[in-house]
A and B are shown apart, each in its own frame.
Chain A
Amino acid sequence: MGCCFSSDSETSQQNEEVKPLIPDPNLNKIPTNGSDRNADSLLSSRTDEQALLTTILQRTALNIIDVSAVDSQGMEQHEYMDRARQYSTKLEVLSRTLSQKKPVPLPSLSSQPHQVLAADLVSNADVQQVSKIAAYAYSAISQIKVDAKEELVVQFAIP
């Protein structure tokens, strides 16, 4: 609602305002022949930073799919053979169940085949109309295309 100002606490307030956000590394400089306190704090902060960077890097590596990387992490020979065997057994099981499927029987379209076949043929007008519609459909389908707005593969780089 307002700023309460008291001249009594001026100096302390001023100090708060001008207090640097990052502590001045030179402030607590102690000669090295003394204790290693300063070096330790500096080193630990650096390792913390390093750890943080490493975690960020790991997380990014997990989430990014590098399409340019051709040689994926190599598998050992025995692991490769194991997997190949696993997949071929799975395929065998599947192909067995597929071959057991019966072919679809022919449906019955009519009980009077001779009558149906002897009926009037499709008129030329109908044939032309259907041909025109099919031509329109073909033309429409042939105009479907991909509107590429961006590159599909990009270089992951820090500018």
Chain B
Amino acid sequence: MTTALTQGLERIPDQTGYLVISEEGVLASAGELENDEHTAGVIMQMVRTACRFRLHGTAEPPFKRMSVMFEDYVYAVTISGQKVFVVKRQNNQREPVIV
């Protein structure tokens, strides 16, 4: 079962690691996020908080993906089938900063 989950994540371009988390704990991890339970815990809290946001009284959370952006990398997070998917990707965008 884990290979079905993780196969798609492996193929994501410029990914440097991933996590698959359920309510009980980490189901799968790889790359820079291998065995990183601390990051898993923090991201679970963040995504649970984000899921409480609502726009104008709609029933569902108003987003499909949550991105935690750092200078050189990004954690992209989504939820599907009671599981949280986290992928760490390189942030290669180098646009000139408009001040």
User: Which residues in A have some Cβ–Cβ distance to B below 8 Å?
Assistant: 105-114, 116-119, 121-125, 127-128
Contacts and interface: CB of A to CB of B under 8 A. Distances in A.
Interface residues of B toward A: which range? 20 to 34
Contact of A124 (B79, B80, B89, B93): B93
B60 A107 contact: yes
A117 B95 contact: no
Contacts of B48: 106
B76 A121 contact: yes
A117 B12 contact: yes
B80 A113 contact: yes
8 contacts: A106-B48, A106-B79, A108-B79, A114-B9, A114-B11, A118-B13, A121-B74, A121-B93
Nearest to B86: A117
| Majority secondary structure, A binding face | loop
Nearest to B74: A121
Nearest to B80: A113
Q: Which of B9, B76, B97 has the most CB of A within 10 A?
A: B76
Contacts of B65: 109-110, 116-117, 119
Interface of B: 8-9, 11-13, 23, 48, 51, 60-61, 63-65, 67, 69, 74, 76, 78-85, 87, 89, 91, 93, 95, 97-98
Contact of B69 (A113, A116, A122, A125): A122
Nearest to A124: B95
Q: Which of A106, A122, A125 has the most CB of B within 10 A?
A: A106
A110 B69 contact: no
Nearest to B81: A108
Contacts of A122: 67, 69, 74
A121 B89 contact: yes
A123 B67 CA distance: 11
B78 A109 contact: yes
A29 to B, nearest CB: 83
A128 B78 CA distance: 23
Q: Which of A107, A114, A123 has the most CB of B within 10 A?
A: A114
Given A106-B84, A123-B95, A124-B93, A117 B76 contact: yes
Given A123-B95, A124-B95, A128-B97, A117 B82 contact: no
A130 to B, nearest CB: 10
B78 A113 contact: yes
A113 B79 CA distance: 7
